[in-house]
Amino acid sequence: MTAPDAAGRLRPRRSCLAVPGSNPRFLEKAQGLPADQVFLDLEDACAPLAKEDARHTIVKALNEGDWTGKTRVVRVNDWTTHWTYRDVITVVEGAGPNLDCIMLPKVQDAQQIVALDLLLTQIEKTMGFEIGRIGIEAQIENAKGLVNVDEIAGASPRLETIVFGPADFMASINMKSLVVGEQPPGYPADAYHYILMRILMAARMHDLQAIDGPYLQIRNVDGFREVAGRAAALGYDGKWVLHPGQVEAANEVFSPSQEDYDHAELILDAYDYCTSVEGGMKGSAMLGDEMIDEASRKMALVVAGKGRAAGMSRTSTFQPPEA
């Protein structure tokens, strides 16, 4: 699901690096890290009194920095504050051509996405920017957002991702834990399973990416890997990273292993061959001891797509069976 489509959506987002918009040193440092995406934050990583200056610091960093190879996102404040419209206007007017998406936090219903979409269109028209190029990332961070996630995910063609915000979400539902991403003590199963699956279904229904939020114990890379591994196993495309130490781990966890990548490419070749005229136009075939068919091809496409987006190369080639 991570290869860019014709509209440039579905870019790789294995690691999505949070960078406080008020800190020029962090903005500089982020440019050298191998994260697939950066998001420059005007919301919770930016103190209320620093937000106005941070808008301009972000515009400068986007226009003058070297963000080659990274998806460039700015997280604005949510619509219940008085900051949102100015965040969007200042950042998009100032740096629109150097910006890929706006991330909207604490989304509660489809109208909040529609409002952002309309505002973006007006700015693009006024400034002569390409209409509709700037995407939207929607964060689900409370019960209302989760209950409305289907309509939120379908609210605008600009949407690229649905993002789980565990810290705000845990607070909003009174979860009995202070350790973001870890299981609340005393609960015998995975307390996040329903939430993650709910978001994933809505995202997939609308061909969007699903992204897991932050893991705050930044020195515990093993803990990060474990929590990221759970989201990756379900089908998530990536996870937020808050520290350089988490970047490599996220890139690894959300890429297929070399073995799985090779296997997926072989399935695709074998399926192409067996359905071709020279392969006998068959609907299924054997690849070694494994029977493959159209459903195997779909599964292989997902893994191969993730591997290609991660820049992996094959280490084996398909040999058609002897006639």
Kindly state whether residue 145 participates in binding Mg ion, applying the rule CB under 5 A. Answer: no
Kindly state whether residue 20 participates in binding Mg ion, applying the rule CB under 5 A. Answer: no
Beta carbon of residue 63, minimum distance to Mg ion (angstroms, whole number): 27
H or E element, residue 168 = helix 166-172
DSSP 186-208: T-SS-TTHHHHHHHHHHHHHTT-
Beta carbon of residue 203, minimum distance to Mg ion (angstroms, whole number): 18
Distance (Å, whole) CA 249 – CA 284: 37
How many residues bind Mg ion (CB under 5 A)? The answer is 3
Which residues in the chain belong to E strands, given as ranges? 15-20, 37-41, 71-75, 101-104, 135-140, 159-164, 209-212, 238-241, 285-287, 290-292
Closest to ligand GLV by CB, 81 or 121? 81
Closest to ligand GLV by CB, 108 or 255? 108
Kindly state whether residue 168 participates in binding Mg ion, applying the rule CB under 5 A. Answer: yes
Closest to Mg ion by CB, 224 or 240? 240
Beta carbon of residue 169, minimum distance to Mg ion (angstroms, whole number): 8
Nearest residue to 172 (alpha-carbon basis) of 81, 84, 103, 108: 108
Closest to ligand GLV by CB, 168 or 237? 168
Per CB under 5 A, the segment of 7-15, 51-59, 149-157, 164-172 that binds Mg ion is 164-172
Closest to Mg ion by CB, 168 or 262? 168
CB 22 within 8 A of CB 77: no
Tokens representing 246? 């988490």
> Which partner in ligand GLV, Mg ion, none is near 65 (CB below 5 to 8 A by kind)?
none
> Which partner in ligand GLV, Mg ion, none is near 213 (CB below 5 to 8 A by kind)?
ligand GLV
Closest to ligand GLV by CB, 228 or 303? 228
Beta carbon of residue 205, minimum distance to ligand GLV (angstroms, whole number): 23
Can you tell me which of 165, 166, 238, 307 binds Mg ion, judged by CB under 5 A? 165
Binding-site ranges for ligand GLV (CB under 6 A): 105, 139, 141, 165-168, 213-214
Q: Which amino acid, 35?
A: A
Q: Which amino acid, 79?
A: W
Distance, CA of 313 to chain centre: 23
Distance (Å, whole) CA 173 – CA 123: 36
Beta carbon of residue 141, minimum distance to Mg ion (angstroms, whole number): 5
Whole-number Cα distances in Å, 157 to 128, 137, 251: 20, 11, 27
Closest to ligand GLV by CB, 31 or 142? 142
Residues that bind Mg ion (CB under 5 A): 141, 165, 168
